[in-house]
Amino acid sequence: MTGKKLAFLFPGQGTQRVGMGESFYNEYQEARELFAEAEEVLGLPLQRYCFTGPAEELTATRIAQPAIVTVTFIIFHLLHKQGITPSFVAGHSLGEYTALAAAGVLPFRESLLLVQKRAELMASVPGEGAMAAVLNISPQRLAELLEKYQKEGLIEPANFNSPSQVVVSGEKRLVQQLAEEINTEKLGKAILLEVSGAFHSGMMRPAAAEFRKVLAGFSFSMPVVPLVANVTAGPVTTAGEFPGLLERQLYSPVLWDKSLRQLEKMGAEVFLEIGGKVLTGLVKKTLPEAKTLTVVEPEDLKKVLAFLEEV
């Protein structure tokens, strides 16, 4: 449909909201079919969680993760059906699993099964974990603070989101203390995230060890379009890399700013976020000149179609 090279970006946990996917469900038969398929695969009343919540149930890791993958894959499918296809894909954390399905690495059903198991393992990790987004602090100052708190326990960088935003992850008390110090001393701004664990930190290593066994039961294909991985910020070149990359992703930082630069280097001209708006903000901070589009509701889909037909 367009000569522009599109990078499809898939958001992760934290983008769930009550009402997600409902407008697509009401408007498109394919959305209803994919919701039904997801409910059958997962054995969960996913529509109820997505459309009516309550929010505290939808936010739970075991619900939020398959819900986000289902809704973002539905939007991808509808774009694809309209002839809007990516030249590249990447997903932020959990979003990498929608990227796998979008790039033909795994069928949608298998991607959901894998996400369900991943969510269960992540939710079962012992200890109280937390995450906080840290904004507008120098890398050196943040490294010094982390070094100080690491003497007391586990806390480390989890997402390098943009030049001005790093997410830290670890033991809840340490994440809270770090956030409080940053805000009180006006070193930058720290915001505690609405997640139920210390994702992308060493606290996830027990889950990763179990997840390795789960991954061994899945067969991965080469992506039909280049897929840039979270833990390397580089394109995956062989199907055999996926189990190791996905296992490492549980306890390793997401190199998102580097991934965006890699996509630009590979030729991405338009960054299209599917099912959220958070990643679009990170694109603008990392690549200020980049063209961005978002699809969250059916009217966005129509706007994207109109824009791409123009160019």
CA distance 248 to 85: 29
Contact 135/128 with Cβ under 8 angstroms? no
Q: Known catalytic residue: 92? A: no
Catalytic residue among 77, 200, 252, 259: 200
Q: Known catalytic residue: 200? A: yes
Catalytic residue among 77, 93, 111, 201: 93
> Looking at the annotation, which residues are catalytic?
93, 200
